[in-house]
Structure 1
Amino acid sequence: PTGYILDATPVEFTIEFNQSAATVVTKDNTAKTGSVILTKEDSETKAALSGAEFELQTADGTQVAEHLESNADGKIEVNDLAPGDYKFVETKAPTGYILDATPVEFTIEFNQSAATVVTKDNTAKTGSVILTKEDSETKAALSGAEFELQSADGTKLKENLTTDADGKLEVAGLAPGDYKLVETKAPTGYILDATPVEFTIEFNQSAATVVTKDNTAKTGSVILTKEDSETKAALS
């Protein structure tokens, strides 16, 4: 029948001598199997991600296959699946990415003519940056400086980031990419320097990116008055 596998095994039967009722036999068929292709990609760039591992389960959570790993094209293909509902569950994320165990549900249709296609993306692990603010001459830590965090194109991401008593400010949870810190308020007694401090959050970085920004102390002036020691008259 349409959508089923041919089974040419004979169904044998016997017509009895002088039988009073029809001989009854049964023959079953197995539905044709289908296939699924999962593509694993970066949530931002949509680049293919290899090395992700999945477990294939039925809709009720029964394990069908495990250790299914995405290839160099970010794909996993599973064949010979009976019609029904299934789900892929991620068990290991690609290097540098966050594990997302949200199931990817799909259905193998009866008599399907092409593979079912599904997609699963991953978000890259975030990194952090530590900026140290210091005196340009003494290198003493400067608190109270305020900065704005921007993307490389100047889009404001965070503001009012203030250096602490150790002259430091830390920003975590940054996706890989290029950024800059722009000073918006100088420490008391120092000159504002709005030259951006550019930095990069590397993919899968293991330690915080460290940058330094110094400030020059404001200049002052002096007035000397020359006078006679007795009369206090001005002396040119």
Structure 2
Amino acid sequence: MTIQETKAPTGYKINPELFIRQIKVDEATGSITTFNEIEVPEPRDTVYGNLTIYKTADDSKRGANTAKDVWFNVKSDDGVTDTYVVTTSKGLDGEVTLTNLPVYKASGEYVNYTIKELGYKNADGTYSVPDRYVPPVERTVTLKENVTLSFYFANRLQKTGLIVQKESEDGIVSGFYFSVKSDDGKTNKVLVTGEDGTAHLTNLAVYNTSNEKVKYTIDELGFKNADGTYYFPAKYVKPAAQTVTLEDGKSFVVTMKNLLKRGSVELLKTDGNGNPLEGIEFELYNTKTGIVNVINKNSSIMYEAADSKTADTVTKLVTDSDGRIIVNNLLPGDYYFIETDSKGNMPYAGKINFTISPDSLDTLDIQLTVKNNSVFIPETGGTGNNRPMYIEIGAAVLAFTILVGAIGLGIRKKKKSIGKKAQQ
């Protein structure tokens, strides 16, 4: 039997020796010992390659080439190369070439070159990449013999998105238009909210060419008319425009909330002669939601309507020494007062109705005067120009009572006289 090694362990030479063995019956298994010399690679001639760095920038333009004067460090993993180079202008881009770079190490393996962008050179000798760019990523490359390889580095402007989130007290959030303008004049867009109340704008620059953050102003336009103009509903308080700056990597959310306009009501309670009545108690109702919970601040005549019942809310409204009750923060709607305790005075028995409407100041702030034994007409707007009219009904009620009494007396007398005739 002939035995010869065909593959040596890594790093060793193949042993070319032939081993001849004869195997006999019932002979014990034998072994063969071989020796491998350490393989020493033959030194090879140094070969070279070339490397070109090609630089681009999103904001590079004629007369303002931002891809030139950009510094790079090129370093090899064998420690032979560690050099700094700077790009020169090539059209709107920049480039720099390094020549005669070794392709192989002494061991025969490829040399790895790491190319790192340093940015622009500062006056103090340090380097920096402007904040407006996405931070560059270094690259590790190998070269080819007698070939110039190009490697591209692009300065991408930091860009992100903007989301306008619409909220509204009455739940209406779709179909609202917004303008978005940047202070550098490069963005002037109009957005409209969808069914979910959001509007999206993408690809917005975070920085301007001066490396300052771009400011974006978002302003609500309202709904769109058929002629392309916009109108803002009178029932809302128009939200203030918002100015924001953005961050790279995540969309910025701007919340714009439409608050319904609030109104107020002032009630004056007087006696039949117009004198104010103190301590008269009322309750206030909304025709749709029921009794109105209020907060009485500092035990004054000023009440503020609350959104819900809490430990701080009350429902009893009491006139002050001037006979007044004032309730603020009332949402648009139909309301009425009920006089619940007249303190011995003649109460107003019916509902004292009024409406809060955002259509004008006259219908948003209401004034009412409730006079004993009088029918009232509400005064709106608080201007003092339209005074309430009163119809005195006390005398009429009294006259009606006397008349009914007289008729009753006559009937009784007639019955009585009829009875006397029957007795005769």
In 2, distance between residues paired with 1:123 and 1:191?
A: 37
Percentage of identical aligned residues:
23
Specify which structure has the higher proportion of helix.
Answer: 2
- Give 1:197's aligned amino acid: I
- Give 1:149's aligned amino acid: L
- Specify the SS of the correspondent of 1:28: strand
What's 2:263 paired with?
Answer: 127
In 2, distance between residues paired with 1:190 and 1:21?
A: 111
TM-score (norm 2): 0.35
Q: How many matched pairs?
A: 200
What's 2:203 paired with?
Answer: 80
Q: Within 5 Å, give how 1:188-203 maps onto structure 2.
A: 188-191=344-347, 193=349, 195-203=350-358
- Give 1:184's aligned amino acid: T
What's 2:367 paired with?
Answer: 210
Q: Within 5 Å, give how 1:154-169 maps onto structure 2.
A: 154-158=290-294, 159-169=315-325
- Specify the SS of the correspondent of 2:237: coil
Which of 280, 283, 300 is the aligned partner of 1:148?
Answer: 283
Once the two structures are TM-superposed, the CA of residue 141 in structure 1 deviates from its matched residue by 3.6
Q: Within 5 Å, give how 1:61-140 maps onto structure 2.
A: 77-82=200-205, 96-97=236-237, 99=239, 109=249, 119-135=255-271, 138=272, 140=274
Once the two structures are TM-superposed, the CA of residue 185 in structure 1 deviates from its matched residue by 0.8
Corresponding position: 1:30 with 2:30: no
In 1, distance between residues paired with 2:343 and 2:175?
A: 45
In 2, distance between residues paired with 1:20 and 1:119?
A: 57
In 2, distance between residues paired with 1:35 and 1:15?
A: 40
Greater RCO (CA < 8 Å, at least 6 residues apart): 1
1:148–1:157 contact (8 Å) kept in structure 2: no
Once the two structures are TM-superposed, the CA of residue 47 in structure 1 deviates from its matched residue by 4.3
Higher Rg of the two aligned structures: 2
2:246–2:252 contact (8 Å) kept in structure 1: yes
Which of 320, 326, 329 is the aligned partner of 1:170?
Answer: 326
In 2, distance between residues paired with 1:200 and 1:106?
A: 45
Q: Cα RMSD over matched residues?
A: 5.0
Change (3 A) 1:205 1:191: same
Once the two structures are TM-superposed, the CA of residue 172 in structure 1 deviates from its matched residue by 1.5
Once the two structures are TM-superposed, the CA of residue 38 in structure 1 deviates from its matched residue by 1.0
- Give 2:154's aligned amino acid: D
2:270–2:323 contact (8 Å) kept in structure 1: yes
Change (3 A) 1:32 1:108: closer
Change (3 A) 1:43 1:109: farther
In 2, distance between residues paired with 1:132 and 1:76?
A: 48
1:98–1:124 contact (8 Å) kept in structure 2: no
| Structure 2: gaps spanning 5 or more residues | 1-57, 59-91, 104-112, 116-150, 208-213, 222-231, 295-314, 374-393, 402-424
What's 1:43 paired with?
Answer: 169
TM-score (norm 1): 0.56
In 1, distance between residues paired with 2:160 and 2:276?
A: 66
